[in-house]
Amino acid sequence: MSKASEIDIVSVSKIYGNTTAVHAISLKIPAGSYCCLLGPSGCGKSSTLRMIAGHESISLGDVRLGNTVVTDFPPAKRGTAMMFQSYALFPHLDLVDNVAFSLKMKGVEKAERRAKALDMLKLMQMEAYANRRPAQLSGGQQQRVALARALITDPEALLLDEPLSALDPFLKIRMRAELKKLQKTLGITFVHVTHSQEEAMALADLVVVMNDGRIEQAAPPREVFERPATAFVARFMGDHNVLTGRAVSSAEGKVVMEVPEGLTFAVHGDPQEPGAPVDLGIRTDRVRIEPASAPGLGFNGIVSNIEYRGASVKITVIGAGSDDFTVIVGDSSFYAKPVAVGDAVSLSWAEEDVILLGRVTA
Amino acid sequence: MSTVLTPETTEPAPARTRGFRMPEAAIAWLQAAPLALILGFFFLLPILTIAIVSFWDYDFAGLYPDFMTLNYVETLGSWVTWKTYLNTLKYTAMVWGLTLAIGFWVAYFLAFHVRTTTMQMVLFLVCTVPFLTSNIIRMISWIPVLGRNGLVNSTLVDMGIIPVPIEWLLYSDFAVVLAMVHLNTLFMVTPIFNTLMRIDKSLIEAARDAGATSWQILWNVIIPLAKPGMAIGSIFVVTLVMADFSTVQVMSGGQSASVALMMKNQMSLLQYPAAAANAVVLLIIVLLMVAAILRVVDIRKEL
């Protein structure tokens, strides 16, 4: 079954006139993996996907699919299939003809292509609607038809451009599970563009965080979450506080940095030039409201906001050069020792919960 | 609950008892009145008059109220009428085919090959520039171009391509169709351009992703989706050409006839009832053609 191909992107750039949308990115997507391109809008993730698909010309660099360099191939010759953001189903055709479209273009006999399309619709559990038009379907049903249409070409890789963004939150979660299941069954490579961290974490084997046309980090979701490579990734994934300052000294695998306010913090990491800019990442759910046990592992701040979130409470603190230092505490421990807006609090964390964030070398 | 009531919600009640209040039905009639009056006076009344007059009697001196079907018998029983209708239908078919082909390509170019919206609008306005002059002037300006010693003939003769001027350029079916296409193509361009602009560009990418060539995309995606626009344009062109008399008269030099030209001649001979009968027949035929177009293409989603 598995005829998946590895996708190899070799220093690919996309240049529109004077602006560069994608800066010479390189990425290997292993065969049969689920890869999520994640980033804020305008970060180049869609351009990257469209360059893999062949809907956008590649300004510089090459894309290899399996053993073939597909850089100059038209979309249909690449062995990829794309699923569009709004599904792009043909409104004038019924579902069978929509799914059979690519076979019709290849000149497959009508009876044969309709039979194949019907099989594909069956796989997607949409055969009951075979003679309807796309406008008569709900968002989730349209997505299944779009999937059927993309998969009928028997692609080696399926490219999905924000496939879940048109669905309501409830359906989003259900279709997400279906996508993952489908990818496991088919065993082909999925490349999925999204701006939702949650979606990427839930689906991906490989999360590629992009910003400003560059890859900030490409790693399994757990690594992206636990060890964000850069300050951008830490902020974008949203579960780390980032403190920015300059290195003061490095010794015994420990770096001491100083924020502009004069406080110093310690972190494990490679030695840094004194005076070099340094970012620290501190897990929001590991920060405790208590005085630091050792120097450089905490600070005092003022509570500026408290949000109740059910199982947890989110406390925003001003201090150490950050005006939105976030602390997530469990609801029981919060109500055992509540704080109020305006209170001065001592925050601290363990040595293993703070990491040294790298910087993108452009 | 009472605290929710705001002054706005309680006020209308006293207002109702104080002032004069019209019944609901009267308000509805009043709202429909302006359009009903306009349509009644400028559309229904004239048609009704024509229908009534078509049953009247007439001679060289006057009209006599009557109810006779002789006008219809004469109109439908005459071979000249049939020939004229056929001729008009021939013009309509040719002009329809040509305006559809030209109109579609112009609209396709504007919608898919011109990249910026500004340029699209500029070029579209350029298409409408000829409409700043009257129909008659645009028609007459063909005469110096197509005439026996006109631009085309003198150029071809001077270049030695033809020994003597081509006679059929002007005052011929060719000239009539040419002028009609010139006058009516924009009525095709506008609605088709409108439908093409509404086609989601990702549909075209999806088709390309499925391996369709440019021609396959045109045939399988763009043309089917442009059908409502084509239908609306066709209705414009068909009704305009079926009712045309000036173009036929000027460009054929009086050698060809159209139904409307026949009516005009009848009217100049004061045969109003005959012209009215003819008009009723023409109206029915045009309505049937429009109905046929609407049967083939569902234009409701465009309206």
Query: What CATH code is carried by the domain that includes residue A319?
Result: 2.40.50.100
In chain A, the residue whose alpha carbon lies closest to the alpha carbon of B298 is A92
Which distant-in-sequence residues (6+ apart) come within 8 Å of B208 by Cβ?
Answer: A55, A74, A75, A76, B217
Residues 201-260 of B with CB under 8 A from A: 202-203, 205-213, 216, 220-221, 224-225
pLDDT (0 to 100) of residue B12: 47
Q: How far apart are CA A198 and CA A176, in angstroms?
A: 11
Averaged over B38-59, what is the pLDDT? 91
| Residue A123, helix vs strand vs coil | helix
Residue linked to tokens 């496939």? A163
Work out the mean pLDDT of chain B and round it to a whole number.
86
Q: How far apart are CA B86 and CA A108, in angstroms?
A: 44
pLDDT (0 to 100) of residue A34: 93
A32 φ/ψ sector (left φ>0, alpha ψ -120 to 50, else beta): left
Could you tell me the pLDDT band of residue B18, with boundaries at 50, 70 and 90? low
Work out the mean pLDDT of chain A and round it to a whole number.
88
pLDDT for residue B181 is more than 90: yes
Exposure on the CB side of residue A319, measured as CA atoms within 13 A? 23
pLDDT for residue A359 is more than 80: no
Domain boundary among A196, A226, A256: A226
Could you tell me the pLDDT band of residue A360, with boundaries at 50, 70 and 90? low
Q: How far apart are CA B230 and CA A284, in angstroms?
A: 61
User: How many domains are contained in chain A?
Assistant: 2
Comparison of pLDDT for B303 and A111, the residue scoring more: A111
Q: Are residues A213 and A259 in the same domain?
A: no
CA angle at A212 for the pair A208 and A215, rounded to the nearest 5°: 25
Q: Are residues A217 and A110 in the same domain?
A: yes
DSSP B269-298: TT-HHHHHHHHHHHHHHHHHHHHHHHHHS-
Residue percentage of chain A with pLDDT more than 70: 98
Query: For residue B220, what is the enclosing H or E element?
Result: none
Beta bridge partners of A191: A35, A159
Which distant-in-sequence residues (6+ apart) come within 8 Å of A113 by Cβ?
Answer: A100, A103, A104
Contact A260, A319 (CB under 8 A): no
Contacts of A154 in chain B (CB under 8 A): none
Q: Does the distance separating the beta carbons of B208 and A84 come in below 8 Å?
A: no
Say yes or no: B12 contacts chain A, CB-CB below 8 A: no
Q: Does the distance separating the beta carbons of B216 and A90 come in below 8 Å?
A: no
Comparison of pLDDT for A178 and B298, the residue scoring more: A178
Comparison of pLDDT for B24 and B93, the residue scoring more: B93
What pTM was computed for the model? 0.79
Could you tell me the pLDDT band of residue B8, with boundaries at 50, 70 and 90? very low
In a domain, A160, yes or no: yes
Which pair of tokens denotes residue B281?
């027949």
Q: How far is CA B272 from CA A63, B48, B59, B61, B240, in A?
A: 78, 14, 10, 11, 22
Q: Are residues A301 and A200 in the same domain?
A: no
Q: How far apart are CA B189 and CA A335, in angstroms?
A: 70
- Of A324, A302, A329, nearest to A313 by C-alpha is A329
Name the residue range of residue A53's domain: 7-226
Residue percentage of chain B with pLDDT more than 70: 93
Which pair of tokens denotes residue B57?
């009697």
Q: Which of A52, A105, A147 to mutate to test the interface with B (most CBs of B within 10 A)?
A: A105
In a domain, A153, yes or no: yes
pLDDT (0 to 100) of residue B2: 45
Q: How far apart are CA A32 and CA B197, in angstroms?
A: 39
Q: Does the distance separating the beta carbons of A91 and B211 come in below 8 Å?
A: no
Contacts of A74 in chain B (CB under 8 A): 208
Q: Are residues A106 and A190 in the same domain?
A: yes
Q: Are residues A117 and A149 in the same domain?
A: yes
In a domain, A289, yes or no: yes
Could you tell me the pLDDT band of residue A268, with boundaries at 50, 70 and 90? confident
Contacts of B230 in chain A (CB under 8 A): none
Q: Is the ipTM beyond the 0.85 threshold?
A: no
pLDDT (0 to 100) of residue B9: 46
pLDDT (0 to 100) of residue A49: 92
Q: Which of B209, B219, B302 to mutate to test the interface with A (most CBs of A within 10 A)?
A: B209
Could you tell me the pLDDT band of residue B68, with boundaries at 50, 70 and 90? confident
In a domain, A124, yes or no: yes
pLDDT (0 to 100) of residue B39: 94
Averaged over A225-253, what is the pLDDT? 86
Domain boundary among A192, A226, A260: A226
Q: Does the distance separating the beta carbons of A55 and B206 come in below 8 Å?
A: no
Contacts of A77 in chain B (CB under 8 A): 211
Contacts of B297 in chain A (CB under 8 A): none
Residue type, A164: L
The full set of domains in chain B, from first to last, is 1-53 (no CATH), 73-302 (1.10.3720.10)
Averaged over A152-169, what is the pLDDT? 88
Q: Are residues A305 and A209 in the same domain?
A: no
Which distant-in-sequence residues (6+ apart) come within 8 Å of A6 by Cβ?
Answer: A28, A29, A30, A31, A64, A65, A66, A189
pLDDT (0 to 100) of residue A361: 55
B245-298 pLDDT per residue, tens: 888 888 888 888 888 989 988 888 888 899 999 999 999 999 999 999 998 887
- How many helices (H) and strands (E) are present in chain B, helices listed first? 17, 2
B91-134 pLDDT per residue, tens: 999 999 999 999 999 999 999 988 888 998 899 888 888 778 88
Q: Is B271 exposed, middle or buried (0-12, 13-18, 19+ CB in 10 A)?
A: buried
pLDDT (0 to 100) of residue A4: 72
Averaged over A204-217, what is the pLDDT? 92
pLDDT for residue A189 is more than 60: yes
A213 φ/ψ sector (left φ>0, alpha ψ -120 to 50, else beta): left
Q: Are residues A211 and A246 in the same domain?
A: no
Q: How far apart are CA A312 and CA A228, in angstroms?
A: 23
In a domain, A235, yes or no: no
In a domain, A232, yes or no: no
Query: What CATH code is carried by the domain that includes residue A99?
Result: 3.40.50.300
- Of B176, B179, B185, B182, nearest to B99 by C-alpha is B185
In a domain, A121, yes or no: yes
Q: Which of A102, A113, A133, A152 to mutate to test the interface with B (most CBs of B within 10 A)?
A: A102
Contacts of B195 in chain A (CB under 8 A): none
Q: Are residues A184 and A62 in the same domain?
A: yes
In a domain, A234, yes or no: no
Exposure on the CB side of residue A16, measured as CA atoms within 13 A? 7
In chain B, the residue whose alpha carbon lies closest to the alpha carbon of A149 is B210
Q: Are residues A33 and A131 in the same domain?
A: yes
Could you tell me the pLDDT band of residue A362, with boundaries at 50, 70 and 90? very low
Could you tell me the pLDDT band of residue B11, with boundaries at 50, 70 and 90? very low
Q: Is B31 exposed, middle or buried (0-12, 13-18, 19+ CB in 10 A)?
A: exposed
pLDDT for residue B10 is more than 60: no
Domain boundary among A178, A202, A226: A226
pLDDT (0 to 100) of residue A357: 86
Q: How far apart are CA B201 and CA B189, in angstroms?
A: 20
Q: Are residues A219 and A114 in the same domain?
A: yes
Q: Are residues A40 and A186 in the same domain?
A: yes
Q: Are residues A76 and A171 in the same domain?
A: yes
Which distant-in-sequence residues (6+ apart) come within 8 Å of B192 by Cβ?
Answer: B103, B104, B107, B108, B226, B229, B230, B233
Which pair of tokens denotes residue B263?
């009516």
